């Protein structure tokens, strides 16, 4: 193995702990610098990893010991940070969504092409053994020709557990843009790109209240739709039914199911990397499929490690900005369709992303 990819992390909030775990155990990555709006948070994260702190994004992206920027800022800042990194000649891997708007996403991709650097994006959960084993089952024809899929994410809202939940309810947030990337990325891996969408959306409450932490009880405005439902038509003809909600207190809905001419497939929570994959062939019964593909024991940041391996091997990275851009376009088009009350076409040209070839240990790179 060659030298590790040197990583500068922008944003040391709640999600950063999971990335720090992956960075600590994967020899393909080495954290060298951290910056955050809260200097104390940056210092704590840097001390944990033996890295340096940077006073600003500009200072971090200018460092010679940073090859790639890990962008863990709030959604509204994703494009700004990514563009600063690309302008400094750095590769970028960011949290989802890729950007808050199509225009911002397009600007990031265009800048990266011009600079000759790579851009990757969460979710990388689709690279784990859960979705990848399910994808292999679909590709091997275990359900026959895919006809339909369902995808459900229902919760009462993140304010119940997050001490600073406002950004989930501002532009760039909401259940679709927050959690939809996990489900839509999985559906695109399983069934291919989306070509048309229709849907409906609602915002039942104008205000929410912080449910935990020192600000518990404080109210804030809801600026986005909090219940979104849609029907997605995939390029191969399969239809997916999607429900993303911050307005459901309890449900017994499956996470993702794929139904084909010869059987059905139960897919685990795409917010995780593994989980049981079950097949119900025509005539039954349900049977557990052993893991057959994906990164084993993966965690947040596996997509960044895959990007490092891809750079070394000269291959495409799997948690790509192309997939993230398509997913963002699907989500925004679904919201447009919901508000317009009609079916809308998704920007053409997207392709089904590459698969993880078999079972791969996290420290290894697929061929």
State how far the Cα of 268 lies from the Cα of 336, in Å rounded to an integer: 29
CA dihedral 45, 30, 98, 197 (to 10 degrees): -110
pLDDT digits (tens, 9 = 90+) for 315-343: 999 999 999 999 999 999 999 999 999 99
State how far the Cα of 242 lies from the Cα of 194, in Å rounded to an integer: 12
State how far the Cα of 149 lies from the Cα of 260, in Å rounded to an integer: 9
Closest CA to 134 of 202, 185, 65, 84: 185
pLDDT digits (tens, 9 = 90+) for 127-186: 999 999 999 999 999 999 999 999 999 999 999 999 999 989 998 789 999 999 999 999
Q: Does the reported pTM lie above 0.85?
A: yes
- pLDDT computed for residue 1 by the predictor: 54
- pLDDT computed for residue 14 by the predictor: 87
Closest CA to 117 of 353, 362, 321, 301: 321
- pLDDT computed for residue 284 by the predictor: 85
| Catalytic residue annotation | 96
Crossing angle for the helix pair 102-115 and 321-340, to the nearest 10 degrees: 160
Q: What is the pLDDT along the chain (367 residues), one digit of tens a residue?
A: 579 999 999 999 989 999 999 999 999 999 999 999 999 999 999 999 999 999 999 999 999 999 999 999 988 899 999 999 999 999 999 999 999 899 999 999 999 999 999 999 999 999 999 999 999 999 999 999 999 999 999 999 999 999 999 989 998 789 999 999 999 999 999 999 999 999 999 999 999 999 999 999 999 999 999 999 999 999 999 999 999 999 999 999 999 999 999 999 999 999 999 999 999 999 989 999 999 999 999 999 999 999 999 999 999 999 999 999 999 999 999 999 999 999 999 999 999 999 999 999 876 778 6
**Residue pair 245/201 in contact by the 8 Å Cβ criterion:** no
**Residue pair 62/35 in contact by the 8 Å Cβ criterion:** no
> Where along the chain do its domains lie?
5-124+299-317+346-360, 128-291
- pLDDT computed for residue 364 by the predictor: 74
Which H helix or E strand runs over 87?
helix 78-87
pLDDT digits (tens, 9 = 90+) for 208-227: 999 999 999 999 999 999 99
The tokens for 178 are 């927050």
- pLDDT computed for residue 75 by the predictor: 87
CB proximity list for 194: less than 8 A, separation 6 or greater:
184, 187, 188, 232, 233, 234, 235, 240, 326, 330, 346, 350
Domain 5-124+299-317+346-360, what fold?
Rossmann fold (3.40.50)
- pLDDT computed for residue 76 by the predictor: 87
Q: What are the φ and ψ backbone dihedral angles of 48, each rounded to 5 degrees?
A: -60, -35
Residue 177 CB neighbours (<10 A)? 24
Q: Does domain 128-291 have CATH number 3.20.20.70?
A: no
């Amino acid at each position: 193995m060659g030298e590790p990819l040197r990583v500068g992390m922008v944003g040391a909030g709640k999600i950063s702990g999971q990335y720090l775990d992956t960075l600590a155990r994967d020899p393909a990555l080495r954290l060298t610098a951290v910056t955050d709006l809260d200097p104390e948070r940056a210092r704590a994260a840097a001390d944990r990893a033996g890295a340096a702190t940077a006073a600003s994004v500009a200072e971090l992206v200018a460092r010679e010991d940073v090859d790639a920027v890990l962008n863990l800022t709030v959604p509204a800042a994703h494009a700004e940070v990514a563009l600063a990194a690309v302008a400094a000649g750095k590769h970028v891997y960011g949290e989802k969504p890729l950007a808050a708007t199509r225009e911002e996403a397009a600007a990031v991709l265009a800048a990266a092409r011009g600079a000759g650097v790579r851009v990757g994006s969460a979710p990388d959960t689709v690279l784990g053994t859960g979705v990848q084993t399910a994808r292999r089952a679909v590709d091997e024809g275990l359900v026959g020709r895919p006809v339909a899929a369902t995808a459900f994410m229902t919760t009462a809202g993140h304010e119940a557990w997050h001490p600073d939940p406002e950004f989930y309810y501002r532009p760039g947030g909401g259940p679709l843009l927050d959690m939809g990337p996990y489900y839509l990325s999985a559906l695109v891996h399983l069934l291919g790109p989306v070509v048309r969408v229709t849907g409906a959306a609602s915002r039942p409450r104008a205000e929410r209240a912080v449910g935990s932490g020192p600000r518990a009880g404080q109210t804030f405005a809801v600026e986005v739709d909090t219940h979104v439902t849609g029907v997605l038509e995939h390029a191969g003809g399969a239809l997916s039914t999607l429900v993303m909600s911050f307005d459901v207190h309890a449900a017994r809905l499956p996470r993702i199911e794929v139904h084909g001419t010869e059987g059905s497939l139960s897919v685990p929570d795409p917010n995780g990397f593994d989980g049981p994959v079950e097949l119900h062939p025509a005539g039954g019964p349900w049977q557990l499929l052993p893991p057959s593909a994906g990164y084993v024991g993966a965690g947040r940041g596996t997509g960044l490690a895959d990007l490092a391996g891809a750079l070394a091997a000269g291959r495409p990275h799997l948690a790509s900005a192309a997939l993230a851009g398509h997913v963002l376009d699907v989500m925004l088009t679904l919201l447009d369709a919901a508000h317009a009350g009609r079916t809308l076409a998704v920007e053409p040209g997207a392709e089904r992303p590459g698969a993880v070839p078999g079972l791969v240990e996290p420290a290894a790179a697929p061929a």
